[in-house]
Amino acid sequence: MAEPTSGVDAPLDVLSFGEALVDFFPDRKGVPLSEVDTFHRHLGGAPANVAVGLGRLGVRVGLMTLVGPDEFGRFVRDRLASEGVDTSGIGTHPRAKTGVTFVSVAAHGERSFLFFRHPSADQQITADDVDPARVVRARVLHLGSSTLSREPARGATRKALAAARAAGMLVSTDPNLRMHLWDDPEEARAMTRELVAGSDLVKVSEDELGPIVGVEEAVAGARALRALGAKLAIVTLGPRGSYYDGPAGAGTVPAAAEVDVVDSTGAGDAFVAGVLARLAPALRAGRGVADLDEAEVRAACALGNRMGACAVTRMGATAGLPPRGTVSVDDA
């Protein structure tokens, strides 16, 4: 890995683990990629988006991944640093390029992706790239399922998870299931369920419930996630808000306000950032999911709803997020 850019002993609230990419968005929506002449560059990758959202909310956050030895890798590293994200866990692969994605945005904000990752640097992270000492300086490890889709990233992910669990860290996951990354759909389901089973906090979107737990309704889906082993399960419901099920109770937190959806990319990542930011003070104090009261969980979902709503108002996963210092985590 590259030399660290900050001290390994600096404490973090959250370490986000996984892909950091460059997303190219068209200058207008509702146009097929074959007809787009102008694209705008944005930071992308779900774990990186979560890290940016947390940085905007003033949370001490870092990212662990690999980028390529190229100008896009420099862009990823510089953009994260400018957002207040600790980049000491970002290494540089000697050969693989930084991943690139072209995003097509439909008229009502739905998106599709054209990936150039064959494989990209983030997919080439190995267990040797994971320093347990760097993992355990955080209170929370957050990750998705993409790095479990194939080796060597699968081994790296398992090493990070093992270090976190051995240290008593809280494990947070948004599986963010991307079936195109997997050779075998059944393996994708099995490994995602294994990830859920070993996580304290699990957030899934409503349309992921079917592939993961075999039901499509939020109440039954959250119950099924908890039956697998998740301590706190949260299902995002788009414009209807979110549903939670945990030790303190279960219920729906409605969306704060209706917004015009420009681009839905990154909405779930923004939601996760809001939840983790709202819970950070409690987690900092050594409390776990089982120690949270229902009011705290509802407040976390409310801030998640708010951040998700902001994310969809502009093109790009993080462009619509409130600037750093403009949102208090206590407002929700």
Q: What is the pLDDT of residue 331?
A: 64
Strand pairing class (170-173; 201-205)? parallel
Task: List the CATH number of the domain containing 43.
Answer: 3.40.1190.20
pLDDT at 117: 83
Residues 168-178: tens digit of each pLDDT = 999 999 999 98
Domain assignment present for residue 3? The answer is no
Q: Is residue 218 part of a domain?
A: yes
pLDDT value at residue 3: 36
Task: Assign 7 a pLDDT band (cuts: 50, 70, 90).
Answer: very low
5 pLDDT higher than 50: no
Write out the residue range of the structural domain in which residue 266 sits. Answer: 12-311
Q: Please name the residues in contact with 263: beta carbons below 8 A apart, sequence gap of 6 or more.
A: 25, 29, 103, 105, 109, 111, 312, 314, 315, 316
Please report, as a single letter, which amino acid is at residue 221. Answer: G
Residue 317 domain flag: no
3-class secondary structure, 136: coil
190-237 residue pLDDT tens: 999 999 999 999 999 999 999 999 999 999 999 999 999 999 999 999
pLDDT for the residue numbered 115: 86
**What's the pLDDT tens digit per position in 300-330?**
999 999 999 999 999 999 999 999 988 878 7
Residue 96 lies in a domain: yes
Residue 329 domain flag:
no
Helix (H) or strand (E) holding 284: helix 267-284
Per-residue pLDDT at 257: 82
Q: What angle do CA 281, 62, 11 make, to 5 degrees?
A: 55
Tell me whether residue 224 is in a domain: yes
pLDDT digits (tens, 9 = 90+) for 56-74: 999 999 999 999 999 999 9
Number of domains the chain is built from = 1
pLDDT at 1: 39
pTM value is 0.94
**Predicted local distance difference test score (pLDDT) of residue 267:** 96
pLDDT 10s digits, 19-66:
999 999 998 888 888 898 999 999 999 999 999 999 999 999 999 999
- The dihedral through the CA atoms of 246, 187, 267, 215 has a sign that is negative
Residue 6 reports pLDDT greater than 60: no
Mean pLDDT of the residues in the chain? 93
Distance of CA 159 to the CA centre of its chain: 19
Which residue, 170, 311, 185, is CA-closest to 246? 170
Beta pairing class for 242-246 and 249-253: antiparallel
pLDDT given at position 132: 97
Choice between 289 and 9, residue whose per-residue pLDDT is larger: 289
DSSP state of 176: -
187 pLDDT more than 80: yes
